[in-house]
Amino acid sequence: MPETPAEHTDRSAVRSLLRLWPYVRPIRLRLFSAAFVAVLASCLGLVIPLVLKWMVDGPVAGRDPGGVWLGALYLLLLGLAEAGLFGLRRWLVARPLAGVEASMRADLYRHMQRLPVAFHDRWPSGQLLSRGTTDLTLLRMFLAFPLTFLFVNATTILVGFVILFDQAWSLGLVLLAPAVPLVILCSLFETKYSVAARGAQDQVGDLTTVVEESVLGIRIVKGFGRHRSQALAFHALSRRLRGTELVKARLLAGIWALITTLPELAIGAALVLGTVQVADGALSAGTLVAFLSTALALRWPVESIGFLLAMSQESATATERYFEVMDVAQERDADGDGRARVSDEPGMVFEGVEFRYPDADPASAPVLARVDLRVRPGETMALVGATGSGKTTLTALVPRLHEVTAGRITLDGEDIAGMARPRLRELVSVAFEEPTLFSATVGENVLMGAEGAGEEELRRALSVAQADFVHDLPHGLDTQVGEQGLSLSGGQRQRLALARAVVGRPRFLVLDDPLSALDVHTETRVEAALRQVLARTTAVVVAHRPSTVMLADRVALLSGGRISAVGTHQELLRTSAEYAWLMSGATEAGAGQGSSAAEDATAEEGSTR
Amino acid sequence: MTGAKTDRPALADDGPPPGEPALTGAAGDPFDRDALPAPRGATRALLASLLRPLRGRVWVTGLLLVLQQAAVQAGPLLVAYAIDSGVPAFRSGDHGPLTAVACGYALCSVGAGILQYAFVRGSARISQDVLLDLRGRIFRHAQALCVEFHERYTSGRLISRSTTDVESLRELLEEGLQELIGVIMSFVSISVLLLWLDPAIGSVAVLSFVPLYLLVRLYQRRAGKAFALRSTAIASVIVKFAETMNGIRPVQAFRRERGNDADFAVLNHRHERSNGDAMLEMARYVIGSRLVANTAVAAMVLWGAYRVASGTLALGVLAAAVLYLRRLYDPIDRLGMFLNSYQSAAASLDKIAGLLAQTPTVPETADPKDLPALTDGHPGREVVFDGVRFAYRTGGEVLPRLDLTVPAGQTVAVVGSTGAGKSTLAKLLARFYDPVEGRVLLDGTDLRDLATAELRRGVVMVTQEAFLFSGTVAENIAIGRPDATPGEIERAAKAIGAHDFISGLPDGYDTDVRKRGGRISAGQRQLVAFARALLADPAVLILDEATSSLDIPGERAVQQAMDTVLHGRTAVVIAHRLSTVEIADRVLVMERGRIVEDGAPAELIGGTGRFAGLHRAWRDSLA
């Protein structure tokens, strides 16, 4: 996926993982205690062979049945302690680690919600989702095992070697021999593995995106009978993921085999040497048993280093992926209430507004070049323009879903750039072209438009939007809609979105083609009711057809990135050829001459081009 | 395998009885609880069917691990031999036994290493192949399920099934299987060795398995519940996450961030609880099993040492037995890890099996028929609704009985208020649904008898939601016909008036719709959707509110294209904009699932019926 930043900066795994510290800090006491407990438990495991040695060399060799009882008692006590400590370690971290995972996820969600819309346009949602799920699960597992056990096992190995050297230093040296080659091999492995791990994680993100799109676009897939080619695309991606996973497995298999074999060979050498020393009488049999027992007890700590390192690598790349999103700056908000007036002009004023998408080529023409428009208080301005002329973009600038590149927009004389977003968005209410409903009840969906609005307001908003159909829904206003609820028709969704926009009686209203999906009868009724709301509101309405334009007092024509004409519908029909062309279904006389007007329009269309 | 295989997670027990229709809308419905019922044993059957094609490799890989374990287990045996035979022999000048030990140990170490390497790679291949198979099955099955299903199941759950749930199976296969085989191997081999070294100590070791087994069962029962809850919880977290991202504009515009944070916190907390519960169950298991194991070791050492002290046991045997005893219980933790991954995978597989148990409501026929060949100059096909009745499974009749014949080449406009059944008519013709009674015929052939490819050459539907897939604009148009040449794609775009804006994009037809400058407005998306349909060049075209976001010039372009490029095709147009109706040969007015008016536009406009009223209202709206 070229989308996700793939530059592999040479950040070390350790440095990446250190970024987890703020999340780990609150639970550091428990985590450290757990590590300490684990070290203790591990060391107890190392003491057990010593007790065995004492038993073999002492009571057993001395044929003292009574002493044997004492040894067994020690063993039992040590065993009970070990069991308790093992459990204690897990108990200490179980809830806190689930908490770390949850708080990282909540932070990601919180951050993601506050990132600019432009960010979401760029990032496939699958990549964000996989960061919030599989990556975070991996990090929890990393904190639970590899982190603790890299430390515990290193300590165990260290203590183990102290015991080994204490028992027979010459044999200890033999065991130490493979350490140097292993360290070199491990670091080689780490570099390669981290690249593969990152690749696999990104590919999971891509796979997630395809799955999501296959559901969101299911009607198209079915309508064109394309589920085979979709399945093929999915298959190709999963095969690629499989390939990367197999590369990871090959690397892991290699390092693991080496980590197992080299120390084992050393133990074999120690066994032979030790046997010779016992035969020579330089070493007691008990010591040799204890030595080998200790060495074998160290086997797991050593062997495990392979997959612990692998998991740490994967966690490091998962951390990188997580912080890639977290490092994207949230939009800064003006501090204070930003009530500094910049002009005395009331209403909604666009002054020299220029806009270019932040990721667009700086050399390309801006979407909006220089928009100057004054919407007087209480006035409704229709915004008309050809498909793709930037009408929707312009409306997105008002609630600051995108930021103007140059120029300014003022509301009652106040520059929106200086306003805190929540306040701005309270002042300005929007109905989007695509009416999105959330998984909540009908009532909740509408009331999202205004915090603290009551039953009364809700009823009023629904009646403005002519959304009486809600009372016929299975549970009326309490019917669940949205992705996880009843699916409504486009017209029904649009009416609810409209109700949501007007419920808070906002001072400023931005409606993007609010009647497009309504049938004629409903459209007429909504228009009548909406007109009353608009009479008291300063509003911009994106319009594609005369019926919507009729809601407005004046019309602005957006063309070539600027407002090329402003006037009433009738004025523009007379003076602007482009406007007449855009509205051509309903020229002068309008009614009655449907098909002939259409033909005229087609002819005109030909000439305008 | 152990008894671990026989238990299904507890959640299945409180699910609805098997055989209950899946798509019920009643309270406590399985969709809301994310617990689609799967028939009993479906989970295990699923796992078995995934592994069956690979069983040869599973055996070979298992054998590799057995050999590897054998090589590893030989270690202590060689220690015993070295101390009991090597030392005395060496003392008497015989270096033979010791040399044998040296060679044996080296051979075992290297052998174990190589076998380990082969095993890790082999098991990774198996698990990756299983995952590939499973992911493919989930995806293909989901694609075969109806639109109605997806509206209820949500993309978030499907993502959860194909990522986090599949991932937990991978843990089971990659680590779990190795753990399990390793654990069984050590238990069996060490028990045998112990029995052989000293039957008395060996028997105690074998006896200690009884309490361990009971512990395992207890853990399974309790952890299963936690894991099932966890799997459901993470799915609802994903659903919320996805919904927020897909609706980020309204979320920000309506200041939903804080409210969402609070909602998310609830879901996230539910996941955190079950996650913690699962880990605590593991802690309990570890304490219990370690207690049993360490007590058993102490008892056996006591007994062994006592007997050495009283002279009935050789010291070397005790030494070896002690080493083996330590190892006997080493895998207890690994058994725990296996159970952990098993329970987690079982919970996930259960969810996947529930999804796979959903039967597609519009299955593709096994015995497809071909449509009669089209005659030159007559690219349309006749459409017949023959006594069609349709009702949702949730109840609520939409079409009581519909009889309709649309001759080849006719353009029919369907109008009526919301809920009149227009869209249902379109979806039946596009075979998104099958009628409950009656048949939908295309040139005399029942739609149910057509293979998907043949059906889509015949009927294509353009809907209001003009979704664009990741990829270039050209790729999005080519969905209509994947083998289309760039020239054909451009021609389709030109015919619909989309060429101008597409050439204005940074990379023209090769502009990625998710990248720099690839922002495409709703109206433009609908034009792309039309270009797609033109390219598909179907015999029957259905437009379901497909022009709602177009401006008037755009609508004209569409009408023109239908008049020229699609001339002679049968068309069913659903639109509330009556301007579209003007190009129709025939108008149907629907109300409550019935056709109440049927005639030529001019004829109906001149009359006094509903359409005349609608048309008057529309004309007034233009004034």
**Average pLDDT rounded to a whole number, residues B175-191:** 78
The answer on pLDDT for A6 being more than 60 is no
Q: Give this complex's ipTM.
A: 0.83
- Give pLDDT, residue B23: 36
B26 touching chain A per CB within 8 A: no
What is the Cα A85 distance to its own chain's centre? 37
Mean pLDDT of A345-367: 86
In this structure, of B31-45, B57-71, B221-235, B576-590, the range with the lowest mean pLDDT score is B31-45
Q: Work out the mean pLDDT of chain B and round it to a whole number.
A: 83
Beta-carbon pairs below 8 A across chains A and B: 581
B144 touches chain A (CB under 8 A): yes
Give the strand order in the sheet containing A554-559.
A414-415, A406-411, A348-355, A368-375, A562-567, A554-559, A380-385, A538-542, A508-512, A428-431
Do the Cβ atoms of B506 and A140 come within 8 Å? no
Average pLDDT in chain A:
84
Q: Which residues contact B42 (CB under 8 A, 6 or more apart)?
A: B353, B354, B356, B357
Confidence at residue A118, expressed as pLDDT on a 0 to 100 scale: 84
Measured distance CA(A444)–CA(A435) in Å, rounded: 15
Contact B621 A524 (CB under 8 A): yes
Q: Of chain B residues 66-95, which have a CB less than 8 A from chain A? A: 75-76, 78-79, 82-83, 86-88, 90-91
Query: How high is the pLDDT of residue B474?
Result: 92
Q: What is the mean pLDDT of residues A297-303?
A: 81
Provide the pLDDT for residue B454. Answer: 86
Candidate ranges A471-480, A514-523, A567-576, B20-29; pick with highest mean pLDDT:
A567-576
First to last CA, chain B: 79
Over residues B333-355, the mean pLDDT reads 86
| Chain B residues in contact with A91 (beta carbon < 8 A) | 280, 283
CA A69 – CA A264 distance, rounded (Å):
34
Which of the residue ranges A271-275, A327-331, B152-156 would you say has the lowest mean pLDDT? B152-156
The answer, for B453 touching chain A at a CB cutoff of 8 Å, is: yes
Range from A13-17, B125-129, B391-395 carrying the lowest mean pLDDT: B391-395
Determine whether the interchain pair A144/B279 forms a contact, defined as Cβ–Cβ distance below 8 Å.
yes
List CB contacts (< 8 A) between A451 and chain B.
255
B113·A120 Cβ contact <8 A: no
Q: What is the pLDDT of residue A340?
A: 62
pLDDT at A286: 79
Tell me how close the Cα of B44 comes to any Cα of chain A, in angstroms: 24
Burial of A493 (0-12, 13-18, 19+ CB in 10 A): buried
pLDDT band, residue A607 (cuts 50/70/90): very low
Answer whether A211 sits within 8 Å of B159, measured CB to CB: yes
pLDDT tens digits along B244-262: 888 888 888 888 888 899 9
pLDDT above 70: percentage of residues in chain A = 92
The C-alpha of B531 sits at a distance from chain A's nearest C-alpha, in angstroms, of: 13
> Which residues does chain A have within 8 Å of residue B255's beta carbon, measured at their own beta carbons?
422, 425-426, 451
Least reliable range by pLDDT among A19-33, B328-342, B410-424:
B328-342
Which secondary-structure segment (H or E) carries A33?
helix A28-55
The pLDDT value given to residue A483: 67
**Mean per-residue pLDDT, B568-597:** 85
User: Alpha-carbon distance B80 to B552, whole Å?
Assistant: 93
What local confidence, expressed as pLDDT, does residue B404 receive?
Answer: 93
> Which domains does chain B carry?
39-356 (1.20.1560.10), 383-622 (3.40.50.300)
Does B555 lie at the interface with A, CB-CB under 8 angstroms? yes
Whether the CB of A117 is below 8 Å from some CB of chain B: the reply is: yes
Q: pLDDT value at position B518?
A: 56
Res. B407: pLDDT tops 90 = yes
Domain range summary for chain A, segments of one domain joined by +: 17-326, 348-574, 576-609
Query: In this predicted structure, what is the pLDDT of residue B506?
Result: 82
CB B474 within 8 A of CB B507: no
Contacts of A275 in chain B (CB under 8 A): 82-83, 86-87, 90, 98, 101
Residue A14 distance to chain B (closest CA, Å) = 25
A207 touches chain B (CB under 8 A): yes
- Which residues in chain A are closer than 8 Å to B119, comparing Cβ atoms? 253
Distance from CA of B326 to the nearest CA of A (A): 9
Which residue of A lies nearest to B123 if distances are taken between CA atoms? A249
pLDDT at A7: 41
Average pLDDT over residues B41-45: 86
pLDDT of residue A335 exceeding 60, the answer is: no
Q: B543, B427 in Cβ contact below 8 A?
A: no
What distance in Å separates residue B65's CA from the closest CA in chain A? Answer: 13
- Residue B12: pLDDT band (50, 70, 90) is very low
The torsion angles phi and psi of A482, rounded to 5 degrees, stand at 85, -165
Q: What is the pLDDT of residue A302?
A: 84
Percent of chain B with pLDDT over 90: 21
Over range A282-309, report the average pLDDT: 82
Contact status of B432 with chain A (Cβ, < 8 Å): yes
B551-563 pLDDT, tens per residue?
888 888 888 888 8
Each residue of A77-100: pLDDT tens digit?
988 998 899 889 999 999 999 999
User: What residues of A are in contact with residue B78 (Cβ under 8 Å)?
Assistant: 271
Q: What does the pLDDT read at residue A10?
A: 47
As a whole number of angstroms, the distance between CA A52 and CA A289 comes to 9
Q: What is the mean pLDDT of residues A276-292?
A: 82
pLDDT for position B49: 92
Interchain contact, B617 vs A218, CB within 8 Å: no
Chain A stretch 411-450, residues whose beta carbon is closer than 8 A to a beta carbon of chain B: 421-422, 425-426, 428-430, 432-434, 436, 438-439, 448-449
- Sequence letter at residue A100: V
Judge whether B430 and B542 are in contact, CB under 8 Å: yes
Please give the average per-residue pLDDT across B524-547, as a whole number: 88
Neighbours of A444 (CB within 10 A): 18
Which chain B residues contact residue A267 at CB under 8 A?
75, 105, 109
Q: Which helix (H) or strand (E) holds A121?
A: helix A117-122
Cβ-based contacts of B120 with chain A (< 8 Å): 249, 252-253, 256-257
- Residues of chain A contacting residue B293, judged by C-beta atoms under 8 Å apart: 79, 83
Which residues of chain B lie closer than 8 angstroms to A268, CB-CB? 102, 105-106, 108-109
* Per-residue model confidence as pLDDT tens digits over B283-313: 999 899 989 888 888 888 888 877 877 778 7
Contact B248 A140 (CB under 8 A): no
Q: Which CATH architecture has domain A17-326?
A: Up-down Bundle (1.20)
In this structure, what token pair is assigned to residue B297?
């070791």
Q: Are strands B570-574 and B540-544 parallel, antiparallel or unpaired?
A: parallel
Closest residue on chain A to B91 (Cα): A279
Question: Would you say the C-alpha torsion A433, A436, A442, A448 has a positive or negative sign?
Answer: negative
Question: What is the pLDDT at residue A354?
Answer: 93
Confidence of residue A586 (pLDDT cuts 50, 70, 90): very low
Confirm if A168 and A291 have CB atoms less than 8 A apart.
yes
Range B594-615 average pLDDT: 86
Residues of B in contact with A210 (CB under 8 A): 470
In the CATH scheme, what is the homologous superfamily, with its name and number, of domain A348-574? P-loop containing nucleotide triphosphate hydrolases (3.40.50.300)
Say whether pLDDT at B168 is over 50.
Answer: yes
Residues 6+ apart with CB under 8 A from A180: none
